[in-house]
A and B are shown apart, each in its own frame.
Chain A
């Protein structure tokens, strides 16, 4: 059984705060780590796909880092805005099957104006 864990489960921040979430995953047989943002009543949307140890990716105010040797990834949001409110999911690809994704339980972010 592959364990992908995310913390915290939920987070409330004020507009303008910076925040970060953690995703831990198996470090063996790693292929890729995906970050998704899932807003209510919409489809989950990919933020990043990360494959190399030490990878750092950035899209606007959101960035992510990857450590495959110790099995963790961080997602950072700088200067949170109310429109950043969503569930952030990480998903691991690897193990014995590179096709499917194994998701963490998600971090629910609420940004208060």
Chain B
């Protein structure tokens, strides 16, 4: 399968714990995006990379969130000191520049 993959698919954590998600994009895509979707809403942009450079970050992203794409291939999204409000589906997508974005299946985070 050559689509976008995300790991894990589900994560349950206790409030205050740190969590890290991984996204593997389509190999020839140099852009990688992170979105978050909460119940009843559409996906909301968090950040995106072109190769290893983080080009844009949403003002909604607090300091507890950090994303990396160290070698311009896979990316990680870390949430420190999780809060109940962080419970959501975290989606990753990849594309060629200004091309169609292909989405992964998402990581569903539940903070108890």
Contact = CB atoms under 8 A, between A and B. Distances in A.
A98 B56 contact: no
Nearest to A105: B42
Q: For chain B, give the interface size range.
A: 20 to 34
Q: Name A's interface SS.
A: strand
B74 interface: no
Contacts of B101: 34, 46, 101
Given A42-B105, A43-B106, A99-B56, A49 B100 contact: yes
Given A98-B98, A100-B56, A43 B3 contact: yes
25 contacts: A34-B100, A34-B101, A41-B105, A43-B3, A43-B4, A43-B104, A43-B105, A44-B91, A44-B103, A46-B100, A46-B101, A89-B43, A91-B42, A99-B31, A99-B55, A99-B56, A100-B48, A101-B33, A101-B45, A102-B45, A103-B43, A103-B44, A104-B42, A105-B41, A105-B42
Interface of B: 3-4, 31, 33, 35, 40-45, 48, 50, 55-56, 91, 98, 100-106
